[in-house]
């Protein structure tokens, strides 16, 4: 990540006319209160305890972590250097020590704060600084999967659970050093968020806006989950990155072609709530996910994206060429399409297809 080109502003336009979002109006919130129809609402209720035994087990542990009581902020600052550059370097190093895959730091745009929490209480824009933590999704399982089958939730929860552990530990440590810290991690039912993460990921140079409507990192593609610690510890913010993704995604439509709900647009970027972006149809995406009869949450865009491929020397060589010259983009996209990256690899499948029906586990074909 240190060698990726840094720029002063993100590669997509961000205006100053952004409305803060009410947490009750996210796709999850709208689906849960029936705005996407009764079938989708029922699907949310069914997904909540965990449709699948492994993700139900992961959720139990995650729920436990989310109930950790915050330790008090130490009354005295630790006798360590107070230089923001030293502190930023140190906190990122702690994150890598705890096995984060990518760490970043940024100022928190006020518009990134939700306006209200799930209970309707206003959210205060309390902290100016954020440490961003990124964890990869487990690639070999995703490669084996068809992308919208039963292992979707466990793939995401593996990253969420690991993030919860790292984020809570980091926040606890920062408080012990004498600064305030607020951990921000999901998934949404855990309710640990005060901020939307995509603006932080852009500001901290973790990735660029992609056609799939989520942030794409040059080495993990779409195959990651993120979390953050908001803090008053002084930091040196990272700069946004530019690795040529806007031109690449404009030509490549592989995720849109593979999306089972046709939620990913094939056209141009639009302005949405002050952000320039390819606008995902969140209603279609959420509706498919919550009514999927043949699996849990869908990862097909993640799996089929050429940037999500692992960091082997062959893939890294292509990455380097694509980042160096936009003339390579059409050839790289044609090659990725020919490789049919969205295909499953059933011989590597290790999980069982099963689902909770009430308290009973039923096999699914
Ligand atoms: Fe962009 Fe192609 Fe990845 Fe979609 S599949 S996010 S268009 S690079």
Dist. CA 224 → ligand 1 center (Å):
14
Dist. CA 261 → ligand 1 center (Å):
16
- Rounded average pLDDT over 170-196: 91
pLDDT digits (tens, 9 = 90+) for 312-362: 999 999 999 999 999 999 999 999 999 999 999 999 999 999 999 888 999
Ligand 1 atom 4: residue of nearest CA: 255
pLDDT for residue 240? 98
Q: Which residues pair with 231 in a beta bridge?
A: 129, 181
Cα angle vertex 318, ends 315, 322, to 5°? 140
pLDDT digits (tens, 9 = 90+) for 115-151: 999 889 999 999 999 999 999 999 999 999 999 999 9
Percent of the chain exceeding pLDDT 70 equals: 99
Residue 264 CA: nearest ligand 1 atom is 4
pLDDT for residue 49? 66
pLDDT digits (tens, 9 = 90+) for 154-163: 999 999 999 9
**Which of 209, 211, 334 maximizes ligand 1 atoms within 8 Å of its Cβ, making it the mutation to test the pocket?**
211
pTM of the model: 0.96
Q: Give 304's pLDDT tier (boundaries 50, 70, 90).
A: very high
Residue 258 CA: nearest ligand 1 atom is 5
Residue 256 CA: nearest ligand 1 atom is 4
Ligand 1 atom 2: residue of nearest CA: 252
Output the ligand 1 site: residues, CB below 6 A: 210-212, 216, 248-249, 252-255, 305-307
Q: Give yes or no for residue 224 having a pLDDT over 90.
A: yes
Strand 215-216 relative to strand 360-363, pairing:
unpaired
Q: Give yes or no for residue 186 having a pLDDT over 80.
A: yes
Residue 253 CA: nearest ligand 1 atom is 7
Q: Give yes or no for residue 22 having a pLDDT over 80.
A: yes
**CA–CA separation, 260 and 151 (whole Å):** 16
Ligand 1 atom 8: residue of nearest CA: 249
Instruction: Please check whether residue 184 is in contact with residue 194, taking contact to mean a CB–CB distance below 8 angstroms.
Output: yes
**CA–CA separation, 158 and 188 (whole Å):** 15
**Which of 11, 243, 249, 318 maximizes ligand 1 atoms within 8 Å of its Cβ, making it the mutation to test the pocket?**
249
Instruction: Please check whether residue 153 is in contact with residue 235, taking contact to mean a CB–CB distance below 8 angstroms.
Output: no
- Rounded average pLDDT over 221-228: 98
Residue 251 CA: nearest ligand 1 atom is 7
Residue 248 CA: nearest ligand 1 atom is 8
**Which of 265, 306, 328, 342 maximizes ligand 1 atoms within 8 Å of its Cβ, making it the mutation to test the pocket?**
306
Residue with the bigger pLDDT between 19 and 28: it is: 19
* Residue 194 DSSP symbol: S
pLDDT digits (tens, 9 = 90+) for 229-283: 999 999 999 999 999 999 999 999 999 999 999 999 999 999 999 999 999 999 9
CA-to-CA dists, residue 44 to 53, 138, 314, angstroms: 16, 25, 41
pLDDT for residue 173? 98
């Amino acid at each position: 990540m240190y060698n990726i080109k840094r720029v002063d502003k993100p590669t997509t336009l961000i205006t100053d006319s952004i409305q803060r979002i009410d947490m009750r109006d996210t796709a999850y919130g709208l689906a849960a209160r029936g705005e996407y129809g009764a079938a989708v609402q029922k699907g949310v209720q069914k997904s909540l305890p965990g449709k699948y035994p492994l993700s139900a087990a992961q959720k139990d542990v995650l729920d436990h972590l989310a109930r950790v009581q915050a330790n008090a902020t130490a009354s005295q600052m630790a006798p360590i250097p107070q230089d923001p550059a030293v502190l930023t370097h140190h906190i990122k190093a702690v994150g890598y020590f705890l096995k984060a895959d990518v760490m970043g730091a940024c100022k928190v745009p006020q518009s990134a704060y939700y306006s209200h929490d799930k209970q309707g209480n206003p959210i205060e824009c309390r902290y100016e600084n954020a440490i961003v933590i990124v964890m990869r999704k487990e690639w070999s399982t995703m490669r084996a999967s068809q992308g919208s089958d039963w292992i979707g939730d466990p793939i995401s929860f593996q990253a969420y659970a690991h993030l919860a552990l790292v984020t809570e530990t980091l926040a606890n440590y920062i408080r012990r050093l004498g600064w305030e810290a607020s951990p921000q991690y999901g998934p949404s039912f855990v309710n640990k968020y005060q901020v939307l993460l995509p603006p932080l990921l852009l500001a901290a140079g973790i990735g660029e806006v992609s056609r799939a409507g989520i942030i794409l990192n040059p080495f993990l593609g779409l195959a990651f989950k993120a979390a953050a610690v908001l803090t008053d510890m002084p930091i040196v913010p990272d700069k946004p990155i530019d690795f040529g993704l806007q031109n690449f995604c404009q030509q490549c439509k592989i995720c849109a072609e593979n999306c089972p709900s046709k939620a990913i647009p094939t056209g141009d970027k639009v302005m949405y709530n002050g952000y320039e972006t390819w606008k995902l149809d969140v209603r279609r995406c959420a509706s498919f996910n919550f009514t999927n009869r043949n699996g849990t949450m869908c990862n097909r865009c993640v799996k089929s994206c050429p940037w999500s491929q692992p960091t082997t020397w062959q893939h890294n060589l292509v990455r380097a060429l694509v980042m160096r010259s936009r003339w390579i983009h059409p050839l790289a996209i044609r090659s990725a399409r020919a490789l049919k990256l969205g295909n499953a690899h059933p011989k590597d499948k290790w999980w069982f297809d099963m689902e909770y029906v009430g308290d009973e586990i039923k096999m699914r074909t």
